Copies of this chain bind each other. A is one copy, B any other.
Amino acid sequence: MKIPVNMPPGVAFLNGHFTAENIITKVTNSSSLVGVFHDEASWQALPSNTVIYQVEMLSSAQGEGELFVGTTHLNPGRVGDEFYMTRGHFHQRREQGEVYFGLCGNGLLLLQNEQGEAHLEQVSPGSVHIIPGFTAHRLINTGTEILSALAVWPSVAGHDYAALEKGFAIRVVEQDGKIQAKEVQNG
């Protein structure tokens, strides 16, 4: 009897796109990012269907211990002086971590613990970000190309956006032609 060899899904490390029978995609437009960017007028001025980022993910088993695989594609651009970024979130199951691999483009990963302490990591092709539990995370595209990052996270992690109602403690803007990270009270 010939034993079959299954062809698994594939990922292109150059851009994070998957090849698979089932790919789940989610597009996030500027209009759904209410209160995320600090320049309200510039945000209002964007066409509401402006795509800020897209996520594609593979279908996985779900349950305790099972892992998800997905790629975030964050477009380049700014809302006023502030670089495009993802909404950012804590995991609902706070102890659950996540791993990001930078694939293309250049940006920053903003990490913040439950005490509100934030720091930044450089995201670039081949960068590895082991995000521990109890840590909110947001991608920021400071470059001119799409920033794509491959992620692996526990299927039970979930998302808790409400816990970040006061936002992150750091904002990243372009000022005098330079990328500037600024501490803020209510980011």
The copy count of this chain in the complex is 2
- A129 at interface, CB cutoff 8 A: yes
Contact B126 A63 (CB under 8 A): no
Q: Verify A3–B69 contact, CB threshold 8 A.
A: no
| B contact residues around A91 at 8 Å (CB) | 65
Instruction: Quote the shortest CB–CB distance from A148 to chain B (angstroms).
Output: 13
Q: What is the CA–CA distance of A9 and B121 in the complex, to the nearest angstrom?
A: 10
Interface size class of A (residues with CB under 8 A): 35 or more
Within 8 A of B (CB), among A107-155: 108-109, 119-122, 126-130, 132-133, 152, 154
Given the interface contacts A97-B65, A97-B66, A132-B61, does A3 sit within 8 Å of B122 by beta carbon? Answer: no
Would A3 and B120 count as touching, CB distance under 8 A? yes
A120 CB contact (under 8 Å) in B6, B69, B183: B6
Chain B hits for A1, CB < 8 A: 183
A65-B96, A66-B133 are known contacts; what are 18 more A-B pairs with Cβ within 8 Å?
Answer: A3-B183, A4-B120, A5-B121, A6-B119, A6-B121, A8-B122, A8-B127, A13-B126, A60-B132, A64-B95, A65-B97, A65-B157, A66-B97, A66-B132, A67-B97, A67-B99, A67-B130, A154-B154
